[in-house]
A and B are shown apart, each in its own frame.
Chain A
Amino acid sequence: MAKENNTQEKVSSKEEAKKKEMILFLSNSEEKEHFLSKQNRKLLSDPLNDDNPITVQVLGICSALAITVQLEPAIVMSIAVMAVMAFSNMIVSMIRNLIPSRIRIIVQLVIVAALVILVDQILKAYAYDVSKQLSVFVGLIITNCIVMGRLEAFALGNGVYKSLLDGIGNAAGYGFILIVVAFFRELLGSGKLFGYEVLGHKGVTVAESSGLYALGYENNGLMLLSPMALIIVGIIIWIQRSRNRKLIEEA
């Protein structure tokens, strides 16, 4: 009996020691980090340039083509994606040790879908016009590769705070490209920014127009078609890689 007790105690003490070690390890790794340490800042800033979801990882291209005709929906879309990514990354990271790895995709999908529905309802309540313009593309955030990609690649293996930063950072990188593309498409395609006629008013004839249109300027119809979004993204990639040579893949 005594012997058995002894072994049990030994086992429990071993487990406790392991636990203590774990706690020490976790607290060490999480406490030692500054609130916005260099590493954490990198999580935010990398996706804006070196690890941009659109131009480097080439994820989420579909929505970049569809909703960048005007600036306003593009900005609303980036905010929506940011909200969804930040919260889904956070939630998945919180329960990452509880999710059986076999059904993790379904769990992630449920979380993302719930968040997307929330965002959609909020948009419908407070920004009805824009939500009508975005139509199905808010719902399609669920299938946006960036969201699932970051959940799989980052949130499942990292702490809550870091996952939150990673979500915000990647959504910002996505939104940044979206806004740049939308800026050029709206400016050159319809001569407006946020719906204001910044290049002057276009009348039926040249005499009735003002601003640039009075000089014979015309809007570029190709900018309104989705291939042009792809070409603008291509130009951004071109500029980015000629400035940052390490992004160029070996041929």
Chain B
Amino acid sequence: MEWIRQRLDKIKEPFSKGKKFEKYAPAVNALDTFLFVPNHTTKKGAHIRDAVDLKRVMITVVLALIPALIFGMWNAGYQYLSQIQAEVGFWEALGHGAIKLIPMIVVSYAVGLGIEFAFAIFRGHEVNEGYLVTGLLIPMIMPIDIPLWMVAISVVFAVLIGKEAFGGTGMNILNPALTARAFAFFAYPTYMSGTKVWVSEASDVDAVSGETILGKLASGNEVAYSSMDMFSGLIPGSIAETSTICILAGALLLILTKVGSWRIILSGFIGAAIMGLIFNSLGGSFPDNDLMNFEWYNHLIIGGLAFGIVFMATDPVSAAQTTKGKWIYGFLIGLFAVMIRIFNPAYPEGIMMAILLMNVFAPTIDHYVIQGNVKKRKKRVKAQVKTA
């Protein structure tokens, strides 16, 4: 261990202060801290001593994403093999998905980290770890057949406009991964929605219904999947959002390590369930509207709602910060997600729109929560003064 440390220090020497490559120090330091825990500590102000830093937090989220990622990989292959009526073997399916997914992840990390490193060197600050999660999330919420250059451009847009324009990690008002998806969705709609994109190479095979469940409902077609399929994730959709089971496993890890807020996750599901129930009860008067009559509990387990609420809405930067604010924020995300789905079938990604919308409103929610608290305490002081 000591030997590695010494070697690393030797490599880092030309990058230290006053030396030849001082400018590129952030890049080298970033790689160094991947291997060793950095030994610098906060110097000013009161602070809590804790072993957790940004890097550990991000790695925890990445670990939480692994089950959904592996399942997404396998499901991509499963959907492909079952559409050409081939025998579905575990390794064949996983292999097919991996061939499709791994290049996307590589492109996403290469492009995104390239921009992050460039900005760190240009602006003279350390490289932030925020992109570790974003870079994995972006390919996970794309359709399986999207061309790699579209992934790259979406990443460029998300990192440049969604993040660096606001000042880098921790300053962004929108979730970068969803910014990337929203960009791709509006820029290349034919690759991001419709009947042909959700199953790998679907356009090559005739008479295959590769629609997502929400797409089917919007066009008034019969849904052939059971609730169990939707829950376990054996349905077409964006790569890693289909399996609610795997997402909940990730959610458990996030909640146990206190990385993700259980309040946002819980209230998000409650909000979606309530909106679903409202529409179900109204559904009797609109018998033709399949989306309205779709059972409320099914709304919770399809269309990336779980994925969005667990991994995107809990993003600590763009979410609400106050405890009460988190409840409101999560609740409204669930509410709006189901509402957008039903009122606007052209945008089946209700959860994407809902989270981006609430990201914008999160600071406002926090402001009113804090002001409400200030008022309450002022009243209490007044009451105490009176009684005394």
Contact = CB atoms under 8 A, between A and B. Distances in A.
Given A231-B161, A234-B165, A238-B165, A218 B191 contact: yes
Interface of A: 216, 218, 220-223, 225, 231, 234-235, 238
A218 B190 CA distance: 10
Contacts of A225: 186
A234 B189 CA distance: 24
A220 B188 contact: yes
A221 B161 contact: no
Contact of B187 (A216, A221, A234, A235): A221
Nearest to B153: A220
Interface string B114-131: 000000000000000000
B165 A223 contact: no
A30 to B, nearest CB: 46
B183 A222 contact: yes
Contacts of B187: 220-223
Contacts of B149: 216
A231 B153 CA distance: 15
A225 B183 CA distance: 12
- DSSP majority for the B interface? helix
In the A-B complex, list the 6 residue pairs whose CB atoms are closest, starting with the nearest.
A222-B187, A222-B186, A220-B187, A221-B187, A218-B188, A221-B189
Contacts of A222: 183, 186-187
B346 interface: no
Interface string B176-203: 0000000100111111000000000000
A221 B186 contact: yes
A180 to B, nearest CB: 17
Nearest to B122: A242
B248 interface: no
Contacts of B190: 218
Given A220-B187, A223-B187, 15 more contacts: A216-B147, A216-B149, A218-B147, A218-B150, A218-B191, A220-B153, A221-B186, A221-B187, A221-B189, A222-B183, A222-B186, A222-B187, A234-B161, A235-B161, A238-B165
A238 B119 CA distance: 14
A225 B189 CA distance: 13
6 contacts: A218-B188, A218-B190, A221-B186, A222-B183, A222-B187, A238-B165
Interface in B151-188: 153, 161, 165, 183, 186-188
Contacts of B150: 218
Contacts of B186: 221-222, 225
A75 to B, nearest CB: 25
Nearest to A216: B147
Residue of A216, A220, A231, A238 most packed against chain B (CB within 10 A) = A220
A207 to B, nearest CB: 14
A221 B147 contact: no
A79 to B, nearest CB: 31
